Amino acid sequence: LVDMSAFDVIHPDSILHCQEIFERVLKGESVKNFETTFITKNGQMMLLEGKAVPRIKGDKIIGTQSFFRDITDQKRVEQELKQWGHIFKNAQLGIAVSDSDGNKIEISNPYFEKLVGYKSLEPNKLPVSDLFPTEYHEDLKEQISIINKMGYGSFESTIQRKDGSNFPAQIDATAVRDD
């Protein structure tokens, strides 16, 4: 490490970006929250978020000092979430998430909204029971109890649209736990 420069570990695609940052720092600017890619000694790419500040002695800038944190896993998770968001938004089946007691819809996808006749985001905060004709409410409570106990459930029921019309539905539900 003693004989290495910072540029020996910076990925070739990030060198120009890092040179620009170091030039700014050498002019006295502190640069926060920039992203770059380093190459580990094993040859793996590591995504980093950094902060670079000038090193000052007296009234002269004598170098730079940089601090980095590994954001490789964070970026991977962000990409996965983006993909799942795309799937959720574009799935051609109705998907809705309610609180664990089935008291209200917390989020729903556009296809669900179309199925039940609501405009975008309108079903959110809607009581789940409002999506079922009154005569199905007791069965709904029982199904929610089973889902919470078993972790999942599947049942047939009737869904009531906003306009009051009904349609038969196969409901597959999974309890999402915070633990």
Instruction: Please tell me whether residue 135 adopts helix, strand or coil conformation.
Output: helix
Radius of gyration for the alpha carbons in the chain, expressed in angstroms and rounded: 27
Written as one letter, the residue type at 103 is N
Written as one letter, the residue type at 2 is V
Q: Return the half-sphere exposure (C-beta side, CA atoms, 13 A cut-off) of residue 15.
A: 9
Q: What is the pLDDT of residue 125?
A: 79
Identify whether the C-beta of residue 10 lies closer than 8 Å to the C-beta of residue 18: yes
pLDDT 10s digits, 76-126: 999 999 999 999 999 999 998 888 788 888 888 999 999 999 887 776 778
Name residues of the chain where pLDDT drops below 70. Answer: 1-2, 123, 179
State how far the Cα of 134 lies from the Cα of 137, in Å rounded to an integer.
5
Q: What is the pLDDT of residue 179?
A: 65
